[in-house]
Structure 1
């Protein structure tokens, strides 16, 4: 077996299981927090999901303040505001509760608190000068995997593009992954977030940055997500929510230490321009981009089909590889992901600019097949017009 040299470094301690959200106080104390900033959107607060965290902090004598200016596709100005809020209240640690928006906002707030300046300054790979304040991440959706990644995706409100901060210095110190937090997720949210997690695993496994360690996490995630997503979207229970929570975190490790590719490049362009929910944007592009990428590595796509529960025993390698497209399309349909033309706001008039924005994304370089601006344009048209 011949392999190129690579490194693999896990930066986040993962605590997994029912009730782990109540470990927030003990973990915060271990990290030396005396005054924490809880970062959560108003929906999470209203649903009572911050209450056990607040109780856990109180039990350990840790003071806290709450920052709730969190929106989907997090905005640069909210991160700047959050950094000022943190400095004003002299916080020495952060606890993010919610989906990727809360966790990514926390990472960006921490970046600005310890490094100063603005989001665009730190957008790129390994640019930070100092670590962020210690961060505990508590995901309440099974999708982004942000609790175990060193990536924050923030919307530049001037250019309407997504900016990526990629640096181990922003990785959460602890991820508290509690499947119980998923039990009351709306079906649409579970479906979109679940496909988002699946895309993370698919792209982590097939992109140019993949390695044997990330392959193992990615294939495990693909298997467990496809087994549990339909049930979790239709009728969530502890079994399928545990599967989805685990699959999402495993997929997060996979792409966090590998990369994503063209599906995400387009999804981030759509989110930056239209505020399209990230999971939906990923889902509508997944089948067409997968079909485009398959010629780059028939072996991997044929193997992936097995983890998507396709019986490939009587197929050629090429047939098995292309069976991934139908399997992914069918799963998206079964969990009621809309078609691209059904998503509010998306206009083919903008596709040339969206293709350019997609091409500029940092992950274009790791797409398994060489891809051009014209390729991106054709993929957008194919997803929209069929």
Structure 2
């Protein structure tokens, strides 16, 4: 029987410097007359929001603003926003922000057309297409502007659930303007950049992948290796910022049709429990899961080392694959990614529970190498020990 692959992508992408100015034109062309803008309080006071607002006003598009967006968006906040959208009879939603704003907007759009509550749609397929959604990413990390899922925290269970559907939750339009990222602080540039790298590496190494996602993932890895540190050192490097935004979108397109694995299982666990920003959580564990997974797909980590631009210098395949792990560890240090012991709430006495919750996460099933609670626990201890050794060096 021949293998069958599914590649999901139905979002039109408008990309380049200045495209934010065209939002009003795009909204009008799509036939929308009243939109709900979902963003956070900080961005609502930014020059970028003013550009968005003026572009809508120019085309006489009515809009309302909702800013109750938190890192690791909560189900109850999504429900409250959906109620506003229904009462105000909006015909589309615009998300301006990082992954949190876009995920929250997706959940809101799903509730408007499907009813019920966010929790009730957690980890089940939707019945109807979401309200039309336009995503405007403000970071280069999540790739959420082109994915068909939203990761939402059920605060009652301290659990990150997925609200999504490959047919019914596809953003209508992604407006990717790297101008918005020129003002990103270094810490966000770093964590979001390694988040995008995680998406690409996991998409390339999970159990289920395909030629299209492979090609996207390797291109994303290459772009990030060439541009992340440039964007970190000089936030106004326009070429580096644009390439990072493209890499982020590519990463989203890649992992949404393959999957992610153990790095995300860990990140979702600590994100839901300790409210750790998603990009930081991925960055913490990425090199350790890479190292753990090499025996399962050595050839793929050789490809990753090559995409990262590492010089081979006579290394055999095993050495070359492990050089990719060291590259990411060194990158994290150069980008000043926080250490595990610096994350509020994560202490050694909680390692056992973190390991169990990570193992219970469905994403562990798609990891390149079979992984269990005991493996997560050993990797947590190793990461913690490595940090201590570096401090004492």
TM-score, normalised to structure 2, is 0.95
Going from structure 1 to structure 2, the CA distance change for 1:12 and 1:154 (only over 3 Å counts) comes to: same
Aligned to 1:155: 153
Going from structure 1 to structure 2, the CA distance change for 1:221 and 1:238 (only over 3 Å counts) comes to: same
Aligned to 1:76: 75
Aligned to 2:390: none
Q: Output one character per residue of 1:265-315: Cα deviation in whole Å (capped at 9) or x when no partner.
A: 101100100011111111110111110011101111011101111112511
- Unpaired runs of 5+ in structure 2? 387-393
| Maintained 8 Å contact 2:8/2:256 | no
Aligned to 1:308: 308
**Residues 1:327 and 2:332 aligned together:** no
2: CA distance between counterparts of 1:382 and 1:120? Answer: 35
Aligned to 1:135: 133
1: CA distance between counterparts of 2:255 and 2:123? Answer: 16
Aligned to 1:5: 4
Map 1:1-386 onto structure 2 (within 5 A): 4-124=3-123, 127-168=125-166, 169-236=168-235, 237-386=237-386
Identify the range of structure 1 (106-115 vs 52-61) with the bigger mean alpha-carbon deviation: 52-61
2: CA distance between counterparts of 1:69 and 1:48? Answer: 19
Aligned to 2:391: none
| Maintained 8 Å contact 1:72/1:101 | yes
Shift of residue 3 of structure 1?
A: 7.3
2: CA distance between counterparts of 1:3 and 1:73? Answer: 40
| Maintained 8 Å contact 1:31/1:134 | no
Going from structure 1 to structure 2, the CA distance change for 1:21 and 1:314 (only over 3 Å counts) comes to: same
Identify the range of structure 1 (365-374 vs 94-103) with the bigger mean alpha-carbon deviation: 365-374
2: CA distance between counterparts of 1:172 and 1:63? Answer: 20
| Maintained 8 Å contact 1:108/1:119 | yes
2: CA distance between counterparts of 1:303 and 1:268? Answer: 27
Shift of residue 60 of structure 1?
A: 1.6
Q: Output one character per residue of 1:235-277: Cα deviation in whole Å (capped at 9) or x when no partner.
A: 1221110111111111111111111110011011001000111
1: CA distance between counterparts of 2:163 and 2:366? Answer: 17
| Maintained 8 Å contact 1:201/1:251 | yes
| Local SS of the residue matching 1:302 | helix
Shift of residue 81 of structure 1?
A: 0.4
Q: Output one character per residue of 1:222-242: Cα deviation in whole Å (capped at 9) or x when no partner.
A: 001111111111112211101
Q: How many residues align?
A: 384
| Local SS of the residue matching 2:37 | strand
- Unpaired runs of 5+ in structure 1? none
| Maintained 8 Å contact 1:161/1:357 | no
Q: Output one character per residue of 1:178-227: Cα deviation in whole Å (capped at 9) or x when no partner.
A: 11111010000100100000000000011112111001111000001111
| Maintained 8 Å contact 2:75/2:154 | yes
2: CA distance between counterparts of 1:298 and 1:313? Answer: 18
| Maintained 8 Å contact 2:36/2:66 | yes
Identify the range of structure 1 (172-181 vs 42-51) with the bigger mean alpha-carbon deviation: 42-51
| Maintained 8 Å contact 1:341/1:385 | no
2: CA distance between counterparts of 1:360 and 1:27? Answer: 43
Aligned to 2:389: none
| Maintained 8 Å contact 2:287/2:325 | yes
1: CA distance between counterparts of 2:73 and 2:383? Answer: 25
| Local SS of the residue matching 1:50 | helix
Structure 1 moving runs of 4+ over 6 Å: none
What RMSD in Å do the two structures reach over aligned CA positions? 1.3
| Local SS of the residue matching 1:170 | coil
TM-score, normalised to structure 1, is 0.97
